[in-house]
Structure 1
């Protein structure tokens, strides 16, 4: 049996970090806004005639093998830790090779690890006979990833990976709800540049520092998160109205708001790229994910996307990513 799965990464436009439990419980009507992009995470499983389990990551150029009889040892395996813990969780009863790869750069801030998580869960669940219904995938992903990063995992990335499209994710005491956003996504594609800075980042560390400060009762942090919540809700309204002037204004105001949370949101390299982009047609800057490296999304003046891409492409370490909004989420197929 051969199983292949893939899922899209995402660009987060508003609400980042407020999706981490328990933070969203402290801010009524907490929400995030993001859209899926076709920089996919892939998982391939091929069953074997022996009892071997072979785990391989093409991106990390790492591979190791174990056996069905030693599957319990994967619980504490540090090599390819996310994959190891997922295999341990599902405990397949047949030998297999699992191979993963991602089209997004490592540490890009595009939700790559969460997306790979969903892709692997889809494939492993098929391998064990669809043990879980799809509504269980996101809780499983969040819980296993928390075991890996050892701090609470945010939820928004799993929704873009599983469902695709543009969405507002609402966080409430009675649960999390994904609202698909119906607006002119073609204009969004025509006005957003996504640039990889050349500097990977560690979202778990950066987000946990902010989360801990919030939980410890820092008043300034609480007020900033109230603003982050409001930014998400206002952006949702602007997108649904196809109000691109308002969209630009909201995103522009959100960047300094976000930077007030931590001096590590941007680096000198990121600041250089931001200055060049804003001098050549970028209206607003959105640091993707937790910041401190990774990708930056720039919302551009109408007709200026190409100008922004050209000036950023001249920077030696930067890479302008080519992307399209991905309307489909997780797909799993047997070959």
Structure 2
């Protein structure tokens, strides 16, 4: 049996800007995210016959297929993500595949992206493929477009395989990655995750922004440039470990993101943000594309106790 697990992530800055070609339209951009110990998992067990069994407690799935073609022909939305990954590899033998995710659906933690990377690692190991991180990210991104039928960014895939603080610079010649895995205590002790109770829909929020930018809307492009300025500042703060500067950048990012699209926030997020600040928290960061899901709260350990 092949057993692979991968972390999800919290994004500190630069979300949405990782969508092609937005980062090119604003003169380049950086995203900053951090792997977290909320994981996705895949267990792949080869079978001697040609049958395929897919199991996922997250979507109440336990279904068997007599052949690969029967799986590929399936129209069941519960198997779509697994179906697209398996259709790429087209294994000749049967297998049992069980997946799980600790991230809530629509949590804004990149759970589906992490799961795709987990699956790629599992099938690569089984079938003897070797690929670089960038190659795996490109494959995962393309597969997830097939699943979502929407444009996707790429930042969520990196922290699933490059554990630590990921700084991704998006330039015309590609994505340049730096990973920081040491001396992160000053960062880790100050943040906590809270789920708003409302799932988010990143494809919807990001699509409106992407469409507006491609239509040449100057206001949208200027707001994206503001987001890029904040993300570049966060990049420098993290590289130099000036953690005390993070709350101000979170506040700037929050205002810039809501200014870009009101859909990035929600009544649940606004209520939670007010409560956090009232109880001594320093800042709130919307995770992912917002509209719900999780938020990252920046607060001292003492304030975290009050917020809980």
Fold conserved between structures, TM > 0.5 = yes
Contact 1:34 1:168 in 2 (8 A): yes
CA separation in 1, counterparts of 2:159 and 2:56?
22
Contact 2:8 2:110 in 1 (8 A): yes
State the match for 2:209 in structure 1: 210
Q: CA deviation at 1:72?
A: 7.1
Q: 1:199 to 1:69 in 2, by over 3 A?
A: closer
Q: CA deviation at 1:80?
A: 1.9
User: SS at 2:260's partner residue?
Assistant: coil
State the match for 2:273 in structure 1: 274
Q: CA deviation at 1:182?
A: 6.1
State the match for 2:67 in structure 1: 68
Contact 2:108 2:289 in 1 (8 A): yes
Q: Deviations over 1:34-80 (max 9, x none)?
A: 10001000001011121101122121111222233525735866332
State the match for 2:162 in structure 1: 163
State the match for 2:225 in structure 1: 226
User: SS at 1:31's partner residue?
Assistant: strand
Q: Please provide the CA RMSD for this pair.
A: 1.8
State the match for 2:282 in structure 1: 283
Contact 1:10 1:110 in 2 (8 A): yes
Mean Cα deviation higher: 292-301 or 115-124: 292-301
Structure 2 spans left out of the alignment, 5+ residues: none
TM-score (norm 1): 0.87
State the match for 1:102 in structure 2: 101
Q: CA deviation at 1:241?
A: 2.5
CA separation in 1, counterparts of 2:248 and 2:14?
16
Structure with more relative contact order (C-alpha pairs < 8 Å, separation 6 or more): 1
Q: Does 1:5 align with 2:4?
A: yes
State the match for 1:123 in structure 2: 122
Aligned length: 308
CA separation in 2, counterparts of 1:232 and 1:282?
22
Q: Deviations over 1:244-280 (max 9, x none)?
A: 3322211112111110121211221221111100111
User: SS at 1:234's partner residue?
Assistant: helix
CA separation in 2, counterparts of 1:244 and 1:234?
12
Q: 1:307 to 1:184 in 2, by over 3 A?
A: farther
Q: Does 1:304 align with 2:307?
A: no
CA separation in 1, counterparts of 2:14 and 2:137?
19
Q: 1:95 to 1:296 in 2, by over 3 A?
A: same
Q: CA deviation at 1:205?
A: 1.3
Q: Does 1:176 align with 2:175?
A: yes
Contact 1:46 1:96 in 2 (8 A): yes
Contact 2:72 2:83 in 1 (8 A): no
State the match for 1:243 in structure 2: 242
Structure 1 spans left out of the alignment, 5+ residues: 311-335
CA separation in 1, counterparts of 2:279 and 2:240?
27
CA separation in 1, counterparts of 2:78 and 2:164?
33
Q: 1:306 to 1:74 in 2, by over 3 A?
A: farther
Mean Cα deviation higher: 182-191 or 45-54: 182-191
CA separation in 1, counterparts of 2:61 and 2:184?
38
User: SS at 1:157's partner residue?
Assistant: coil
State the match for 1:21 in structure 2: 20
CA separation in 1, counterparts of 2:39 and 2:145?
22
Q: CA deviation at 1:198?
A: 0.8
Q: 1:33 to 1:133 in 2, by over 3 A?
A: closer
Q: Deviations over 1:146-185 (max 9, x none)?
A: 1111111110001111211002111111111111236641
